[in-house]
Amino acid sequence: TRLARLIAAMGPISVAHYMAECNATYYAARDPLGVSGDFITAPEISQMFGEMVGVWLADIWARAGRPTRVCFVELGAGRGTLTRDALWVMARFGLRPEVHLVETSRVLRDAQRELLGDVVWHDDPSTLPNDAALLVVGNEFLDALPVRQMVKTEGGWRERMVGLDGARLVPVAGDRPMDAAVPDAMRDAPLGAIVESCSAAVAVVDDLARRIAAQGGAALFFDYGYGDAQMGSSLQAVKAHRKVDPFVAAGTADLTALVDFGVLVEVAERSGARHLGTAAQGDWLQALGIGARAEALIAKAPEQAAEIAAALHRLTADEEMGSLFKVMGLAGVGWPDGAGFGL
Ligand code: SAH
C-alpha cells in the first residue's frame, strides 16, 4: 500500500498521522454507512434521532428569543439524514435556518446534495459565517479525528508510531523522549501504558465554543466516549460491521477513538461557552420525548411497529447505544438551559 511504501522510505509515522491518512483515504472513496456498508449510525437507524435533535435546537432557539439570523451546522454529515430529519422538525416550529455542512468527503457531499439540495459546504469550521447564531450538531464526528498516543517504555515516554515488520504495519515506540507531552498525573504509569489525546477535537470544540460565545447559538456533540480521564489505546477499526486490527486495515476500515468528554467540556468552558450538561444518549432521547414519538409513528404505521420499537431500543437501551454514547450540550452566554440535561 501507499502508506507501507511511505513508511519503508521515511521510517515510522505517528499514530495520529496514520489515523488521519487512513480516514482521509477511507471517507474520500466511499459511503461507509448502512447495512451493506461498514457501520450504522443513530440517524441511519431511525428518523427519530434527527427529529429529537431538531426538537432540542428549535426549543432552545425559541427560548433564546427566536434570533432571526441563524445557521444550522452539521459537522461530518454522512448522508445528510440527520440534517434532513432535524430541518423538517425545526420548520414545524417556525425555524428555517441557512444550512452549512462541514464535510471533507466528496462522495458524501454528493449524497448530501442529493438529499438536501444545494447547501453551503465547508472543509473545516474556520469558514463558517461569523455574523449569525449557530445551531451545531456533530454525530460520530469527533471520534473520526486523529488521536496522538504516548507509550511508556524503558527509556521513558515515547510517541506511539506505526512502523513495518516485513510487509506488516505494526505499532512501535518512537525514539524521541516525550515525557513533557504526558500529563503529570499519568507520568508514573507502568511500562507499556498508553496515553491518548486528540488535539483535532480540542481545536474544533474550541473554535465552535468561541463562535457560540461571540455569535450566540448552541451545540450538541454525540459520540462514544468517557468523562473521566482514562488510559490505554481506544483506537478501533470497523469493517463490514466487525472489529478488525486497526494496523491491518489501512484506509479500508473506519478508524475511530473514544472521545474524552472531560477534556472537551473544560475546553468549551475556557473558550467562553456554557456547558449545559453531558448526558447518556438514552436518557437524553427519553427526556426529549422519543418514546411518545415512537408511539405516534406506530399509530400512523402499525405494520412497522416492530421495526420502530427495535430502533427505539437500539438508540436508548443501556446494552445498545443508550449509555456508551454520550451527548455534550453547549450554548452561548445568555442562552437558556437545554432540554434533556436534567437542569
Ligand atoms: N454524522 C453522520 C456520519 C458519521 S461518519 C452520521 O451520523 O451518520 C463521520 C463523518 O465525518 C463522515 O461524513 C466523514 O466524511 C466526516 N469526516 C471525517 N473526518 C472529517 C474531517 N476531518 N473533516 C470533516 N469531515 C470529516
What's 171-233 look like in SS3? EEEEEEECHHHCCHHHCCCCCCCEEEECHHHHHHHHHHHHHHHHHCEEEEEEEEEECCCCCCC
Report pLDDT for 249: 77
Q: Is 303 exposed, middle or buried, given 0-12, 13-18 or 19+ CB atoms closer than 10 A?
A: exposed
Pocket test for ligand 1, best of 22, 105, 127 (most atoms within 8 A of CB): 105
Residues 6+ away with beta carbon under 8 Å from 164: 4, 7, 8, 12, 170
Q: CB–CB of 135/216 below 8 Å?
A: no
Report pLDDT for 1: 79
Report pLDDT for 210: 98
Cα 87 to its chain centre, rounded Å, is 19
Report pLDDT for 342: 81
Task: List residues near ligand 1 (CB under 6 A).
Answer: 23, 27, 33, 41, 43-44, 76-78, 82, 102-105, 108, 139-141, 144-145
How many helices (H) and strands (E) would you count in the chain?
Answer: 11, 16
Q: What does R_g of the chain's alpha carbons equal in angstroms?
A: 21
Residue matched to cell numbers 502508506? 3
Q: Whose CA is nearest to atom 17 of ligand 1?
A: 76
d(CA 179, CA 158): 7
The cell numbers describing 228, all together, are: 473521566
Q: What is the dihedral of CA 221, 223, 228, 229, to 10 degrees?
A: -110
Structural element, H or E, at residue 252: none
The cell numbers describing 91, all together, are: 420548520
What does 4-71 look like in DSSP terms, one character per residue? HHHHHHH--EEHHHHHHHHHHHHHHH---BSTTSSB--HHHH-HHHHHHHHHHHHHHHHHTT--SSEE
What are the pLDDT tens digits along the chain (343 aa)? 788 999 999 999 999 999 999 999 999 888 999 888 889 999 999 999 999 999 999 999 999 999 999 999 999 999 999 999 999 999 999 999 999 999 999 999 999 999 999 999 999 999 999 999 999 999 999 999 999 999 999 999 999 999 999 989 999 999 999 999 999 989 999 999 999 999 999 999 999 999 999 999 999 999 999 999 899 999 999 999 999 999 987 888 999 999 999 999 999 999 999 999 999 999 999 999 999 999 999 999 999 999 999 999 999 999 999 999 999 999 999 999 999 998 5
Question: Which atom of ligand 1 has the smallest separation from the CA of 102?
Answer: 24
Report pLDDT for 340: 97
Q: CB–CB of 174/19 below 8 Å?
A: no
d(CA 217, CA 332): 5
Q: Nearest CA to 37 among 323, 252, 245?
A: 252
Residue matched to cell numbers 460565545? 213
- Residue 179 CA to ligand 1 centre (angstroms): 32
Report pLDDT for 90: 98
